[in-house]
Chains A and B, each alone.
Chain A
Amino acid sequence: MTSPRSLLIRTAGTNCEAELEYAWNRAGASTEILHVKRLIEKPETLREFQLLSLPGGFSYGDDLGAGRIHAIEIRERLLGPLREFVGGGKLIYGVCNGFQVLVKAGLLPGFEFLESKEAPPLDATLTDNENGKFQDRWITLKVVSSLTPFLKEGAVFRVPIAHGEGKFLPKDDATLAKLRASRQVVLKYVAPDGSAAKGWPDNPNGSVDDIAGICDPTGRVFGLMPHPERHADKVQGPTWTREGGGEGDGEGLAVFRNAVEYAKGL
């Protein structure tokens, strides 16, 4: 197989599809952007793709909470086709609002999503940043689990965040313990030198356990608040003018390269 195909879903208020499409293209995937209504009309479209993305934005204005309405739409209308998609070994990527949607639709953490026939329970949420403010800043991430094909454990990289509701909060301690035990906590906020985050601004939103991204038990559904697609090229980075010129890849591109590599095997 030559070039994996990546489908980007948009709806009212999606606004990060341009940079995400560029990152997938840079990583070697071909892309298509589709309105969610078209996918609901014809869910079998999914079969033509190996990769599916939910980009960032303010779906339906984030009215009723970030990602909530889009999540209900997906949960009520597309759960079956998505189960088939993930069950077939394919990958889902949800970033920022897309992550919020995956969590609020129950696909993440998605403990029994594939096995069950029911709508998955909602075991976690993303809520207001601890300081109550929308924040746009560059942060440093560290991969702490290789469960998902998107990431390679040990990698440290810088990407921007831009959100107001990014605080990851599991339902209870047991859920957090389960997430850890199953290695589904894959990405953490860390200090610029890669050591553990020392509060704000290393951890910009007060996420429990500095969690920036998680995946489902199979690793094939991956969601995170920060935006690796906004650091696909070096010149998109925060301090590239100090770091030997503007030529080359950005630090977030590996996320997409890894996924494309994996998808080539499908």
Chain B
Amino acid sequence: MNIWQIETAIKPGLADPAGKSILADAREAGFSSLTDVRVVRVFFIQAEFDRASAERVARDLFADPVTDFWTIGEPVSKKLEGAWNAITITRKPGVMDPVEESSLKALRDLGLHPKSVRTGRKVLYAGDASPGLEQWAGKALANAVVDEIAFEDRTIQEIPASRVPPFRKIVVPLLDADDAALEKISKDGQLSLTLREMQAIRDHFRSEKRDPTDAELETIAQTWSEHCKHKTLTGVIEFGSEKIDNLLKSTIVKATEFINAPWCLSVFKDNAGVIAFDDEWALTFKVETHNHPSALEPYGGAGTGIGGVLRDTMGVGLGAKPIASTDVFCVAPPDTNPESIPPGVLHPKKVLKGVVQGVKDYGNRMGIPTVNGAVLFDDRYLGNPLVYAGNVGLLPRTMVEKESLPGDIVVVAGGRTGRDGIHGATFSSAELTHESESLSGGAVQIGNAITEKRLLDVMLQARDRGMYRGVTDCGAGGLSSAVGEMGERCGAEVHLEKVPLKYDGLTYTEIWISEAQERMVFAVPPEKLDDMLRLFASEDVEATPIGKFTDTGRLRLLFNETEVANLEMHFLHKGVPQWTRKAEWKMPRLSEPSRPKELDWGKEVLKLLGSWNVASKEWIVRLYDHEVQGRLVVKPFVGPKSGPGDAAVIRPVFGSNRGAAIGCGMCPRYGDIDPHGMALAAIDEALRNVVAVGGDPKQCAILDNFSWGNCAKPDRLGSLVRAAQGCRDGAMAYRTPFISGKDSLNNEFSHGGETIAVPPSLLISALAIVPDVRRAVTMDLKKAGNALWIVGETREEMGGGEWYRLHGWLGMLSPTPDIREAPNVLAAMHAAISQGLVRSCHDLSDGGLAVAAAEMALAGGIGCEVALDSLPTPVPLTIDALLFSETCTRFLVEVEKTSEAAFAKLFEKFPARRVGEVTGRSGIWFTKSAKAVCVVPVEEAERAWKGTMDW
């Protein structure tokens, strides 16, 4: 059979943006001798057809008739003038590229039927190959997990096949294993199980009088992984003299039970939390962490993070439709010195760019708008970047519950199963080291958004026609977790040889635990099976019955009639020994820095506006399609000059003006001082953000995502306990229930005997009802002559704040909200917005009043004046504290003069005061005793804010 190698490239006279972008990256990496880069797409078609057909394929399918030229059987570089060096990148044998599937479809439409299509690309470069270029290219242009790279202009004669190992049932000798042997089995198998857990497993199998198979051991390891079971949060914690049994239940869940909000429809039990939206619809909300894969392979890691959280939405109740995403990233500053990067760690700029590309490519292709997010910078994220991916879904209220019954068929649908993502659940529960990259390469999954979109489209039809009774996604642990969870109460039997594979050669255990993307598992009543399979086939979505749910209480796996597992469901789900861990917390001994009395305050404000944490993230946000689905009412950027909106507002249901606000709060550096106060501040910040745009704080649900250092260490766990208690106290005080959450408790990086833990990174995500989107408010200043009010008291709370960080200080007075008063202030703010009294509103957070006022001015392109001595304060404060303190529960509000009386009345009982007005001038003025103490031209503020990340 022939292999036709077709190469296409953009014509010499035309710009090649992909090449240009690689050239820019290479030059930035120091390869200044490169003068030009062009990208070539390569297709290898294995087919019987003749050259004329190959030419037709090249012309009509692979090459653009206007921009491209092409060759068959010879490198396209030969047709370019000048001397070019080539790098050829192809997929490893067995790795699927979605383009191959699409190409096959198009070839069939053209009436051709090749055996296979493989894809690759070449990067051609002109200029001297400086030393180190190959090494750089190997990392920058290829992904070692899936790609092969060759530094030549390669032509391929044959397509290598993957090997098929013979079937062999593996039994692990456990019954007689001593402690040392047990530990070795766990370590060698990358099971991440502790000795006590291994002992429990051994003892269980002693009672069964046999050794386990590898599949059984893997199933237990997946199910019991910290990632799936949250053993730290649900275990016993000895915290000083206190003994906490199940931290999660005694703090976060307890607050939700205490609040007992009738609009909470499903909490802490499904793939996402669910709240009521209106009489007909519910909203689902979930945020996932996807940290470890993103550290190794930012693009793929983040993309599959998005894909995964979208499947959480698709797997909640009977399946919700994803309608809005939120993404938060934590990375080291992009200007980190490349020399200081330890081996095995990627430069933060590369991490950030890769993560953003991954989110963009997956989210945009799926057509899910990314409407909200944040990026936080801290040196300690260097070895452990954090990626939080969240999604809001829309679900009929009648479809919140599900069940699988004995006799229901287990159907797996969507993508095929491959070797990707093996050991993701256990890997994400381990500490990263410089070896993680080579050991855990397989843990990174490879995503295909269109496969997931197809699956979503067809499953919502099946849902509405009542074709299945239960559904869940294949996330961490793959089929093992999905079937294990769905069959927990009854039992299940799966025939693993029936699972459709991407390529041959997977063992039965690999099939069972693979975390290949884009798969969902359904429980289908037998009488509905044929209809459902027909429906899925009609939209080219593969759906395969692989077994059935039973009433045996056991999980039974077969491979071609050989039993390879037979596990008791009860032991699998309840047999894990409860962890006991020690925690300790001591308030760190800190002090306030001695601060200069006089500084050029205008310069300080500009520095703050341009600092990594404050500066505009427009470079990122404009890469995301935030308008798709047409639901977005308050955008990520607001005002004529694109200022930073506080939260997004969407209209979930077309034709209804009821809305939802999505916002977040996160302040890790406060946690370096006081994790309890930090948790309160994060809740306050998330609420401020949604309230500022029109969200109702009384109908607001929140999520917790903890990313901590290694919580086997008592000090890390102690800070986690304090933060969880803060979550409880905050949720109860604000009457804001948690509905779901996630934790990632091993974010430390070891290198050269040193261990760096991430700062205590608690993300609070908020979803609030907006009663009428037509009343929504944005933060851009609107009109000269309007009054400016500040709501909330200002205290000297700069510890852990952005201004201190600029000067290298930590401080000791971090912002902590007054939780008795704060809920009432938020309620009054919401009332003012609902009554239409507010023209613009912005919450005060990073950089305090100075940054908030400057952002409002630059967003509206109009100046303002603020009298610092009008701020309500408990004691007189210095200028720096007035400008930069980050005290919680504060808003800067623009009010028309005719509305001032009504506005003032709402805030009678709270510290709120008129502090200035929107002016016709082009500057942001801060005065004290009627004298200007700090003046920043609006245009300079805009330049400073937008200039930092103008990539």
Contacts and interface: CB of A to CB of B under 8 A. Distances in A.
Interface string B641-678: 00000000001001101000000000000000000000
Residue among A38, A65, A131, A241 with most chain B CB within 10 A: A241
Contacts of B214: none
Interface stretch (A71-79, A86-94, A108-116, A210-218): A71-79
A22 B655 CA distance: 8
B627 A162 contact: yes
B457 interface: yes
Bin chain B's interface residue count: 35 or more
A69 B67 contact: no
A30 to B, nearest CB: 14
A58 B448 CA distance: 12
A60 B102 contact: yes
A15 B449 CA distance: 12
Interface in A107-165: 122, 124-125, 127-137, 160, 162
Interface in B90-149: 98-99, 102-103, 105-106, 109-111
A129 B110 CA distance: 29
Nearest to B783: A242
Could you tell me the dominant secondary structure of chain A's interface residues?
Answer: mixed
Contacts of B540: 12, 37
A37 B782 CA distance: 50
B102 A73 contact: no
B776 interface: yes
A68 B109 CA distance: 12
Interface in A179-230: 227, 229-230
A79 to B, nearest CB: 12
B365 A58 contact: yes
Interface in B710-745: none
A241 B778 contact: yes
A156 to B, nearest CB: 16
Contacts of B623: 133-136
B633 interface: yes
A125 B214 CA distance: 55
B125 to A, nearest CB: 17
Contacts of B654: 18-19, 22
A229 B628 CA distance: 10
B640 interface: yes
Contacts of B524: none
Contact of A132 (B18, B630, B632, B640): B18
B896 to A, nearest CB: 13
A136 B18 contact: no
Residue among B18, B61, B448, B457 with most chain A CB within 10 A: B457
A127 B630 contact: no
A171 B67 CA distance: 8
Contact of B630 (A57, A61, A236, A241): A236
B651 A135 contact: no
A171 B66 contact: yes
Contacts of A12: 450, 453-454, 457, 539-540
Residue among A15, A122, A135, A230 with most chain B CB within 10 A: A15
Q: Ordered nearest first, which 10 A-B pairs have the shortest CB separation? A: A15-B367, A19-B630, A132-B17, A246-B774, A63-B102, A125-B66, A162-B625, A61-B450, A63-B99, A241-B778
5 contacts: A12-B450, A15-B365, A58-B367, A238-B635, A239-B640
Interface of A: 10, 12-16, 18-19, 22-23, 35, 37-38, 56-58, 60-65, 68-69, 72-73, 76-77, 122, 124-125, 127-137, 160, 162, 169-171, 227, 229-230, 232, 235-236, 238-239, 241-242, 245-247
Given A162-B625, A236-B630, A247-B774, 5 more contacts: A16-B367, A16-B629, A19-B630, A235-B774, A242-B780
